[in-house]
Structure 1
Amino acid sequence: MNAEDRSVLDRAAPGPDLTLRYGPAAEQVADAWLGDARATRRPLVVLVHGGFWRPEYDRVHLRPLGMALRDAGWTVVSVEYRRSPGRPEVTAGDIAVALTAIPASSAARWHQGLHNGSVVVVGHSAGGHLALWSASAAPAPGLVGTVALAPVADLGLAHRLDLDDGAVADFLGGPPEDNGDLDPVRLAVPGAPVVVVHGTEDGIVPLAVAESYTAAHPATRLVALPDIGHFALIDPLSEAWGTVVDTLASFDA
């Protein structure tokens, strides 16, 4: 298995066009990149970052992705959320509030006319878990699709594989068997289409985790990318970038 290229995590990128607030907590904010005329015909893209739900990983590492998607013609929002080990209801609650508050604020000046009124949620790694959870349990108003990039889509399997040294149990505060309402593989089929994009050489979240989700939800489209690792899916300089853009474009009106 190839070593993971983590360079995108520390790559310098300009800040967002503006930062929005969806709640009173310090973490209840979202970065926004405002698209051009192409974005008016496209959904709002809401990004959910990964980092195994741990406090030390925040939305900043998605800035190269947010900027690149804006330059490719979308209006983009990258959501921050509280990451409190053992309190998964806080994390999930923030995602649910953000997905309702940000797209629903259609009268707000920041995005008037900057997207077509629909929403695509894109999550990476643990953010992919949250995106898939929300697709079933708390879908965004106007949701037309979910794109999960290398998602932790099956908490039970991820726990058995001991991903990131017990990350699932740390997040949940206990075994996943006691938290079925937070496990995407055990939830109802999402009402809007789901695409999972996963690299075959992912050394952080193995492809088997995505395959377990798609086996449970056969309507899901799984795109397995040969010779691609975990972080390439959020790296605009990687060979996976074209697939990510094409997948998003499939939800354009």
Structure 2
Amino acid sequence: MGQTPDNAGEEQAAGARSARLMTWPDLLERPRPAPSATIRYGEDPLQVVDLWLPEGAGPHPVVLMVHGGCWQTGIADRTIMNWIADDLRKRGIAVWNIDYRGVDRPGGGYPGTFQDVAAAADALRAHAAEYRLDAGRVVATGHSAGGHLALWLAGRPRLPRGSPLRTASPLPIAEVVSLGGLPDLEEAAREPGSGCGTEVIARISGGRFAETSVPRLAPLGLPQVLINGMQDRIIPTAYAEGYARPMRAAGDDVRVRMLDQTGHVELVAPETAAWAAAVEELRRALGR
């Protein structure tokens, strides 16, 4: 299915070295690294950002990171990304790892989840000088439902007039790297096997796909890379090219990297071939 990346053979060979797919305990039961600082952008306990700050004077290149969990706080919060955030910090890249109210929390769903994500992103610019962050070229990445939200952040300038999700001056996103993302909410709403279920899609979208489903905002006008596992049992593999086709038709630069011997967890585990591919894309996008 979909396009074959130029380095598909190398990626598949690297993935083949791991015969067993990772499960969540493989990641979550290891020691969890801690961020450099936690910053509030609102009064709710979930309206916070973890900053992972590298050593040195800066200004530091920045990756804006968005966790997944089917847009449900009860499934995941920002700390599920701690290991890859720490890996980027060690590589000299700052990480702005945002949290938000999921559809299962008061104020979450449409429009609150989107308003949280937007406010968390815009707070980066407000704190850039204090923490020596280079806000001039921010690359976004997100895992699973966070892949959708990262792409949506990049599309905010194209939100329709009158939408409660519009803001006056959204943080510019230079590029997006989606990790097992679920970017097309309309497609997911038609597919009960999406991994999150159609009921959750209805709650996060509010039925207002023109504001919440990324292909409706096309073209985003920036490069997008979708990294997906061929053995991902949460997000159907067809979603990547299903998203890429209309975005390319609208004029966007979208690449898909399908990795063999890769499920959903490998995408956010720092020792995997999948994360190595993500680091390669993030460093390229940041000019590193």
In the TM superposition, what is the alpha-carbon distance from 1:40 to its structure 2 partner?
Answer: 3.5
In the TM superposition, what is the alpha-carbon distance from 1:191 to its structure 2 partner?
Answer: 2.5
In the alignment, is residue 35 of structure 1 matched against residue 66 of structure 2? no
In the TM superposition, what is the alpha-carbon distance from 1:88 to its structure 2 partner?
Answer: 2.2
The one-letter code matched in structure 2 to 1:71 is K
- Match in the other structure for 2:258: 224
Query: Following superposition of structure 1 onto structure 2, how do residues 1-253 of structure 1 map, counting pairs within 5 Å?
Result: 5-6=23-24, 7-37=26-56, 40=58, 43-56=61-74, 57-85=76-104, 87-107=109-129, 109=130, 111-112=131-132, 114-115=133-134, 117-138=136-157, 140-162=170-192, 163-164=194-195, 166=197, 168-173=198-203, 178-218=208-248, 219-253=253-287
Distance in structure 2 (CA, Å) of the matches to 1:16 and 1:30? 10
Specify the structure having the higher radius of gyration (Cα): 2
Distance in structure 2 (CA, Å) of the matches to 1:185 and 1:63? 29
SS at match of 1:12: coil
In the TM superposition, what is the alpha-carbon distance from 1:54 to its structure 2 partner?
Answer: 1.0
The one-letter code matched in structure 2 to 1:19 is T
The one-letter code matched in structure 2 to 1:200 is M
SS at match of 1:202: coil
Question: Structure 2: where are the runs of 5+ without partners?
Answer: 1-19, 158-168
The one-letter code matched in structure 2 to 1:22 is Y
The one-letter code matched in structure 2 to 1:170 is V
TM-superposition CA deviations, 1:192-226 (whole Å, max 9, x none): 22111111111110111111110111121111112
Distance in structure 2 (CA, Å) of the matches to 1:74 and 1:175? 32
SS at match of 1:137: helix
SS at match of 1:88: coil
What TM-score, normalized to structure 2? 0.78
TM-superposition CA deviations, 1:118-146 (whole Å, max 9, x none): 21111110000111111112595242111
The one-letter code matched in structure 2 to 1:94 is D
Question: Structure 1: where are the runs of 5+ without partners?
Answer: none
In the TM superposition, what is the alpha-carbon distance from 1:250 to its structure 2 partner?
Answer: 0.9
In the TM superposition, what is the alpha-carbon distance from 1:178 to its structure 2 partner?
Answer: 4.3
The alignment-based identity, stated in percent, is: 34
Distance in structure 1 (CA, Å) of the matches to 2:205 and 2:224? 26
What TM-score, normalized to structure 1? 0.88
SS at match of 1:106: helix
In the TM superposition, what is the alpha-carbon distance from 1:106 to its structure 2 partner?
Answer: 2.8
CA contact (8 A) 2:69 2:144 kept: yes
